[in-house]
Amino acid sequence: MRVPSSVEAIKEHFKDKKGSQIKFVIRRGKKKYVVQNGVILDVYPSIFTVKTKNSNLSFSYIDILTKTVELSFVKQES
């Protein structure tokens, strides 16, 4: 996903993405990261939630802007 330049642009991008499958990378510090797949459960004014195989996670739009979390949308096969 190309990162929009503002939080408002990111919110607008996520507005209709509920139910979309994603692959995301969470940066945990120097050379530490977690790669997971999940589905966007809900989109709220300040955060969005993702259901993974083992848990539910929430991320703020700032996480996307600062690249703490990087994600890509997975194309669903018909």
pLDDT digits (tens, 9 = 90+) for 15-63: 889 999 999 999 988 889 999 999 999 999 999 999 999 999 999 999 9
72, β-bridge pairs: 23
Comparing CA positions, the residue from 47, 48, 50, 46 lying closest to residue 22 is 50
Is 7-73 a domain of CATH 2.30.30.100?
Answer: yes
Q: Is the dihedral of CA 44, 16, 9, 71 positive or negative?
A: positive
pTM of the model: 0.82
CA distance 68 to 48: 14
Return the pLDDT at 40.
Answer: 95
